[in-house]
Amino acid sequence: MPALSFDGALAVPGLSVADGLCQAGWLMQDHFLPSDLTAQLAAECVQSMLSGNMKGAGVGSGHAPLLQPEIRGDNIEWLEAGRSNACDRYLEHMEALRQTLNRELFLGLDEYESHFALYAPGAFYRAHLDRFRDDDKRTVSVVLYLNDDWLPGHGGALRLHPQDVPVVDIAPQAGRMAMFLSGEMLHEVLPTARQRLSIAGWFRRRA
């Protein structure tokens, strides 16, 4: 099984992409996008907050997800094609990734949805799966981090809870991408001490 076509080391040591995603249930990669693009996306995420376009994220699917700050405290804005050059470039990369995953892993991924997320200091997201009880179309979760110079003391790690092995903590360092199976990987965002920016997205099957 050849590696996916983005550069840099995959961080489930010794595992190919297929083994990482299908056996371990997760993988991550640094320098996922060109650094100028990561910086533009970070600036756009902050701008979205400053211009009041971000909303408190709800819990659950459907038209009226409930705000539940004791479960998740991030603010989000959904991305749409055409909103900016940087977002369109990001979406092109994700489309290439979708095609690669389908070619290599036969996942049958049909579409992609994603949002900017901003966690203010103190915010967190308790352990959860990314698949809703009434909507099992989310198949692969992908989070891209946008924070320069993240230090261990800043907290805010993505903590994965793979079955039968120790937890994995992934710091939200700029350019780093984490990918995992939406319906199987229990995960959480640990409380952050610093503003934490990301784009979270999901490859979905249509039916």
By the criterion CB under 6 A, which residues form the site for ligand OGA?
117, 125, 130, 143, 158, 187, 189, 198, 200
C-alpha pair distances (Å), 197 with each of 11, 49, 69, 125, 130: 21, 10, 18, 14, 19
In the complex, minimum distance from the CB of residue 102 to ligand OGA, in angstroms, rounded to a whole number: 22
- Pick what 77 binds: ligand OGA, Mn ion, none; C-beta below 5 to 8 Å, kind-dependent: none
Nearer to ligand OGA, 1 or 127 (CB): 127
Q: Residues 6 or more apart from 155 whose CB is under 8 A from it?
A: 190, 191, 192, 193, 194
Please give the residue whose beta carbon sits closest to Mn ion in the complex: 130
Nearer to ligand OGA, 97 or 124 (CB): 124
- Which residues 33-92 are close enough to bind Mn ion by CB under 5 A? none
In the complex, minimum distance from the CB of residue 13 to ligand OGA, in angstroms, rounded to a whole number: 21
Q: State the binding string over 130-169 for Mn ion (x if CB under 5 A, else -).
A: x---------------------------------------
DSSP state of 191: P
In the complex, minimum distance from the CB of residue 103 to ligand OGA, in angstroms, rounded to a whole number: 26
Contact of 27 with 14, CB cutoff 8 Å: no
In the complex, minimum distance from the CB of residue 51 to Mn ion, in angstroms, rounded to a whole number: 25
Contact of 117 with 44, CB cutoff 8 Å: no
Q: How big is the site for Mn ion, counted in residues (CB under 5 A)?
A: 1
Contact of 74 with 125, CB cutoff 8 Å: yes
In the complex, minimum distance from the CB of residue 198 to ligand OGA, in angstroms, rounded to a whole number: 5
How many C-beta atoms lie closer than 10 Å to residue 136's C-beta? 12
Stretch of 11-19, 71-79, 128-136, 165-173 lying at the interface with Mn ion (CB under 5 A): 128-136
- Count how many Cα atoms sit within 13 Å of the Cα of residue 132 in the half-sphere of its side chain: 11
Contact of 202 with 130, CB cutoff 8 Å: yes
The binding site for Mn ion (CB under 5 A) comprises 130
